[in-house]
Amino acid sequence: MLILALADLYVPERATDLPKQFKKLLQPNGKINKVVCLGNTGSSKLVKEYLESLTNDKSNFHMVRGETDTDVTLPQSLVLTVDNLKIGIINGFQVVPKTDALSLLNHARMMDADILISGGTHRVEAYTLDGKFFVNPGTATGAFTTDSLEPVDTSFCLLEVVNNTCTLYLYTLVDGDVKIDKLVYSKDSV
């Protein structure tokens, strides 16, 4: 199963759209099984419609509420079971202190998740801690963050889940070109 994870779009408040390089890669083609959005999409309804169009079935679009989202019907967290892995999804504003690995580990444990996907920092990262896999897809539009004056990379992630293994592909826009990094997490090997 192929899962697209992205966050912190802020269209049109902080960015105009996803980069054309990303849109070219993400054309609806039936390969993406699920789309996970970690919130903060911005006020443009077109963004959510575009993300929903990337799967064959709108029920495979999952979104949690970010701190700037106004739709109070969105959940603050979700847990998806994909093959033999439980994937927890949060925006990240619930994590105190923000980006703290032990706080994220606590959230993963409370959600009984093998993988925790969280956003809110606009910084792409992935790591393993205490047998859990942590993924932050960064910002898919390059939207600035109010937490820092440092520029952020434009990024998103694809997770390929088969049985107990997740292969993570990190897509980052660097000088107009898409760079892809790959990491593998296996529940059995931790």
Model confidence pLDDT, tens digit, residues 31-59: 899 999 999 998 888 888 889 889 888 89
CATH number of 2-186, picked from 3.30.460.10, 3.40.710.10, 3.40.47.10, 3.60.21.10 = 3.60.21.10
DSSP 187: G
The set of residues, in sequence order, having a beta carbon less than 8 Å from that of 146 and lying 6+ positions away, is none
pLDDT(189) > 70: no
Order of strands across the sheet with 34-37? Answer: 61-63, 34-37, 2-6, 154-162, 165-174, 177-186
Model confidence pLDDT, tens digit, residues 172-186: 999 999 999 999 999
